[in-house]
Amino acid sequence: MPLHLIGCRRLEATPVFDTYWRFAATRQSIYEARLDGTPAPWTDNPVLREYRFTNVFRAADRVSQFLISKVIYDSEEHGADDLLFRTLLFKFFNRVSTWRGLERAVGPVSWSTYDPLRYGEALDELAARGPIYSPAYVIPPPRLGAARKHLNHLRLLELMMDDGLAGRIRNAGGLHELYETLMDYPSIGRFLAFQFAIDLNYTPLTAFDEDDYIVAGPGAIDGIRKCFGPAAAGHEEAIIRFVVDSQEEQFARLGLPFRGLFGRRLHLIDAQNLFCEVDKYARVAHPEARGRSGRSRIKQRFRPLADRMTTIFPPKWGLTVERQRPSVEVNADGSLSMLT
């Protein structure tokens, strides 16, 4: 495979690096086909048909779409404190059913009407019925004296609000400073701080360029190792930036069509997420490739969800969403129903 000069180091790409680009093009074509109302199956790729993978663009994924359309840019106008409170409260659990359950129990979610007792009781009841945290990634418990993890997260959120975090975010000089600000709080490590920074950057509180800064998560580090071998260790952020900077060249080299997200290029966070997804994909497509974790199986099987697919993105991105595409609902059997 060709050598690439990345961060003043020449790295030799493995076959998984070409798979990275083929995966991106094929997974994006599935997303576009579903938006177009094309019936399943949307690909003949056996791995993509059998297992669940997130969308190529982070903001297009189901949970991010709910955050953008129902938490940040819902039917109400929210002030800075409410935007911060709502966004972080959703992200601590990162689970749509938890948010909906809270709304049913306490009404409109707002810092101005926040009652820790009511919210705590509501979360207690939801936790008694089933999981309230997303399995997508681990949310470490802050140690703030409460008996249960979710009650400690409420205390952490209160601490952040009382600390004037909304004002600190609005005065931040960039995505890196926002990330460093979030790192100041208990249990918010590198990975979570950066993910939360990206989520807060969807709000009107900031308008930072997503290509300003990146933090490679554990899954992305595994994916990068599979694409470039052990010599990539310590150069993960430079590799992610290389991928973003050379994306048009790479798609053209392999003859892959890729229109982006309504014309939006891959940004650093998207490339980082893609490395995480390719780490999983390679467990089946390239079982000989080894990451640091040594994981060899993909846990989640693909199962169509009966959720309405939305195309809501931060207005500041200036995307022109193709309105001629019908709104579709994916039924439990994989078929689609048109929505008006």
| Confidence category of residue 156, pLDDT binned at 50, 70, 90 | very high
Q: Flag whether pLDDT at 13 surpasses 60.
A: yes
Q: What is the pLDDT of residue 338?
A: 40
Q: Is the model's pTM score more than 0.85?
A: yes
| Short-list 76, 66, 26, CA closest to 49 | 26
Kind and range of the H or E run holding 11: strand 9-12
Distance CA 334, CA 338 (A): 13
The string of pLDDT tens digits covering residues 183-214 is 999 999 999 999 999 999 999 999 999 999 99
Backbone angles phi, psi at 129, to 5 degrees: -95, -20
pLDDT band at 302 (very low <50, low <70, confident <90, very high): confident
pLDDT tens for 223-274 read: 999 999 999 999 999 999 999 999 999 999 999 999 999 999 999 999 999 9
Mean pLDDT of the residues in the chain: 91
Query: What values do phi and psi take at 27, rounded to 5?
Result: -65, -35
CB-CB contact of 49 with 266 (8 Å): no
10 φ, ψ (degrees, to nearest 5): -90, 120
> What does the pLDDT read at residue 136?
85
pLDDT at 287: 93
Tokens (6 digits) for 13: 């790409």
Whole-angstrom Cα distance, residue 121 to residue 105?
9
The neighbouring-strand residues paired with 12 are 3
Q: What angle do CA 163, 199, 186 make, to 5 degrees?
A: 40
* Residue type, position 311, single letter: T
